Structure formats: C-alpha cells, structure tokens
Amino acid sequence: MATKQRLYRIVFHSRGKVYEVYARSVAQSGIMGFVEVGDLVFGERSNVVVDPGEERLKAEFEGVARFYVPMHAVVRIDEVEKEGVAKITDPGEGGKVMPFPLPFSVPGRGEPGGS
C-alpha cells in the first residue's frame, strides 16, 4: 500500500501581502528563527482556465527548490487533504488575517546604540 504524501497550506506575510501556498515539505529550518518550505505544489488544472494569481506565484517561485520564512511572518500552517488555490492577497481583502504589529523606531530616538 502506497503511503499518502502530506500536503500543507502555508499562510505568511511578505512585502505587505499575504501569501497562501501549498507544499509537500515544511520543517523547522537549520537557520534559527525560520521555517523551511519546499516542494511547492501548484494546481494541475486544465490549460484552458488560467488563474492570474496562481500564475504570478508560479513566476515568483520559478526555479526555487525551497525557501525560508521568518517564524514571526507565518500566520498558520495546516495539513490539508487536497490542494486549494495558491494566491497573494492584500491583508484587508480577506478580513481574516491581521498583520502582527511590529516595533518601529523614529530615527535619532530610542535606537539601540544611538545617541
């Protein structure tokens, strides 16, 4: 009996957008503070219907064997039964994902090592 391959949905923030991708491999990285994502899976749908969002992701990750996401940028990782649509959205579009507030500093004030 063949072993069923695991499939994961990974949702993370990058460059002000929310990415949702599907992959066969997700692990704690050897690089401290990062999650390693590998073996990306894109829809094997009919060539007649083209999803521009998924095509954009395919182009962005073309030639990438694995990539690393900072742990603080990961929203969630789910093991799923079947693949959905990989996409890039603006944080406000879905209304379900709120970016984690990050600390900021004003130049010249309160910066570590500053005067």
CA distance 37 to 21: 10
- Tell me, yes or no, whether 81 lies in a domain: yes
Buried b (16+ CB within 10 A) or exposed e, 49-77: eeeeebeebeeebeeeeebebeeebbbee
Number of compact structural domains in the chain: 1
- Tell me, yes or no, whether 30 lies in a domain: yes
Q: Give the model confidence (pLDDT) of 4-56 as tens digits.
A: 789 999 999 998 889 999 999 999 999 999 999 999 988 765 455 566 777 88
- Tell me, yes or no, whether 69 lies in a domain: yes
- Tell me, yes or no, whether 109 lies in a domain: no
Domain extent, residue 32, equals: 8-93
- Tell me, yes or no, whether 49 lies in a domain: yes
- Tell me, yes or no, whether 112 lies in a domain: no
- Tell me, yes or no, whether 107 lies in a domain: no
- Tell me, yes or no, whether 104 lies in a domain: no
Q: Give the model confidence (pLDDT) of 57-90 as tens digits.
A: 888 888 898 999 999 999 999 999 988 888 888 8
